[in-house]
Amino acid sequence: CRYIEIISEPKDYIFLSRGMLDQSFSLVKQPDGTVLLPVSPSCASQLDLQSLRNTLTPVGRKPGNKLERTIQELLEYRGERWMEEMRSDLPRSFQRHGDLVLLGDSCFTLPIWDKIGDQLWSAVTKELRVKRLAKMSRISRDDRFRSPVVTMLLGDNSWVKHVDNGISYEFDVTRCMFSAGNISEKLRVAGFDCSGETVVDLYAGIGYFTLPYLVHAKASHVHACEWNPDAVAALQKNLEVNGVSERCTIHQGDSRQVQLCNIADRVNLGLIPSSEEGWPVACRLLKKTTGGVLHIHQNVTSPLPNAAAGDAAPQNVSAKNADREVWRAWASDTANRITSLFMDLTGASWEINIQHIEHVKSYAPHVHHVVLDLGCRPS
């Protein structure tokens, strides 16, 4: 059984029981009002969480309406006028991490909000039933770590705890990113049987995949490579919190320079938009006598659909098939390149086979995060 978190009441989502819920388990309501839904393992990796989130909006109730009324009342109390442009500037989605809500960069951009200040943030936190509030600006391009630019709007402590599938992730929201969109891939990794295996996670972050490999997949040992010192600090804490620190070695620094070789049964390359720079390292890491599996992440772009094509339904089917063809073409090209890399590195031919192509999530326009599982063994 895998649990996913939904921010709402259980009664709104009874329809999820249509083959998705594991009915041998109960729904669990959290103290912050969120609900954990027990999802059948056979469905977990196929969940499209973005579509699910859109579908789960209760009929007849627009998200943010209650918050909108609260802010209108606050403006009236302050002697300010409500303007129509304010409606589109309110948050329509956010990340919840325990008692902290992290807002996106597209809300509360008007000057009026800064004028109201703490009264506004207090009202928002009360309405969202949390104690702390932060706002994302953008991903920093000023450092090589892709650090988030996050401002604490209410509250001083920026460390949060997020629980996915029974794994605790603790991190500083102003220093580290958390990718909720990777949940389906984390669930898939959790379903692997890695007992007796050594895994290398080339881009470990705060432990997005390192922890599922250790906690659920039961890897014997994971070598976690990460160059962001803030992420390393969070990773160390998360390994301890989840009781798996003795089975993990952290290698801080550039993973392209990691001093490991001939050690891994599988290598996780969880970097997007591309992990290509890590491919030679990953090939070097696999055991020379038995080989192993490479899990290669990539953002793959599909061609834009022909707007002049027939009606919508066949076009949608055609677009999906076209996407899969692009993924397969990329996978085939990647397999050929990995074959060449092994020949260059070892001087011998290796058998490379495409075991699986996993669609993780999609971005507009027509950019898809996919994972390629490549089986690699010496001929």
Per residue in 186-200, pLDDT (tens digit) is 999 999 999 999 999
Give pLDDT, residue 98.
87
At residue 117, the 3 state secondary structure works out as: coil
Q: Return the CATH number of 66-157, one of 3.20.10.10, 3.30.300.110, 3.50.50.100, 1.20.1090.10.
A: 3.30.300.110
Strand (E) or helix (H) holding 310: none
What is the reported pTM?
0.78
Break the chain into its structural domains and give their ranges: 3-55, 66-157, 181-304+318-378
CA-nearest of 249, 245, 98, 107 to 178 is 98
Q: What angle do CA 280, 282, 283 make, to 5 degrees?
A: 65
Mean pLDDT of the chain: 84
Give pLDDT, residue 16.
47
Q: Which residues of the chain have pLDDT under 50?
A: 4-18, 32, 50-51, 53-63, 307-313
Q: 79 to each of 75, 107, 112, 121, 237, how far by Cα in Å?
A: 6, 22, 12, 18, 47
Give pLDDT, residue 232.
97
Rounded Cα distance between 27 and 123, Å, is 30
Give pLDDT, residue 138.
63
Place of tokens 């250790």: 214
Rounded Cα distance between 60 and 54, Å, is 13
Give pLDDT, residue 29.
59
Q: Return the CATH number of 181-304+318-378, one of 3.40.50.2000, 3.10.180.10, 3.40.50.150, 3.30.310.160.
A: 3.40.50.150
Question: Which tokens belong to 17?
Answer: 């029981």
Find out whether the peptide bond into 38 is cis, omega within 30 degrees of 0.
no
Rounded Cα distance between 98 and 30, Å, is 10
Rounded Cα distance between 120 and 357, Å, is 46
